[in-house]
Amino acid sequence: MSQRILMIGYGAMGREVHRLLPDGVTLDWLVLPEAAQSDTQAELGNTTRVLTAIDQCSGQPDLVVECAGHPGLAQHGEAVLQRGWTLAVVSVGALTDNALYQRLVDAARTGGGRLHILSGAVAGMDGLASAREGGLTAVTYEARKAPRSWKGSPAEDLIDLATVTEPTVFFEGSAGEAARRFPANANVAATVALSGLGMEKTQVKLWVDPHTERNSHRIHAVGRFGEFRVELNGRPLDNNPKTSMLAALSVVRACRQLLDPVVI
């Protein structure tokens, strides 16, 4: 029996997720702004119903996946959770807004839904969350990306991306501040924080590196369990340099888990 998903957003990430959906999982509903509804419906044909609000979905999705960015999660997240559905979130940086986070938690509790925070563009979150159970002393996260990946972000006000010639740190601070100031680039900071010490106790350093075409993430955790370091050098999506390919694949994995009898 096919597993049916509802997707919020259909930009570069959403399209990549749709392309890679495993056999046995279908995109039955898509929620988009009204301005994009008719064109996208014509593009997708009758296989997917394009909606503008969650309450227009008359069926029962097996999973709702958010690929819409922070505004999409803020607009539609509560309605999903109030219906008792599971919402897989990749725009984790939006949860640095404490009011939004609390609204989503309250909606999940009252409606019986579940907020599933995806690992996104980074690895090792299972180990970090496990280490937290025994007590963490320190967690640091560093992101290193090419200048083009920081264009259109507040990094342009902190450093000249067109002339930088050496790897340069342009931000140091808490995960909460990083995710709030760089929402399109720092979802990982929020993911690391929620898995570990929280937004204000997780330290973040952001780099621009003109010598790389990869998105590099480094995590260092110390605690009662011992110590670990994770380094990942990921490729961005071809049509959106601010988005990691691995982030899109984390959504695909969540969809595949609907089919698998064994979940890792």
Q: Which residue in 18, 70, 76, 217 is the catalytic one?
A: 217
Strand partners, 87: 64, 115
Q: d(Cα 2, Cα 121) in Å, to the nearest integer?
A: 28
**Selection from 185, 188, 166, 164 nearest residue 175 by Cα:** 188
Q: d(Cα 221, Cα 157) in Å, to the nearest integer?
A: 30
* 204: number of Cβ within 10 Å: 26
**Selection from 207, 199, 219, 234 nearest residue 92 by Cα:** 199
Residue 217: active-site member: yes
User: Of how many residues is the chain composed?
Assistant: 264
Tokens of 52: 């503008």
Q: d(Cα 155, Cα 207) in Å, to the nearest integer?
A: 10
Residues recognised as catalytic:
217
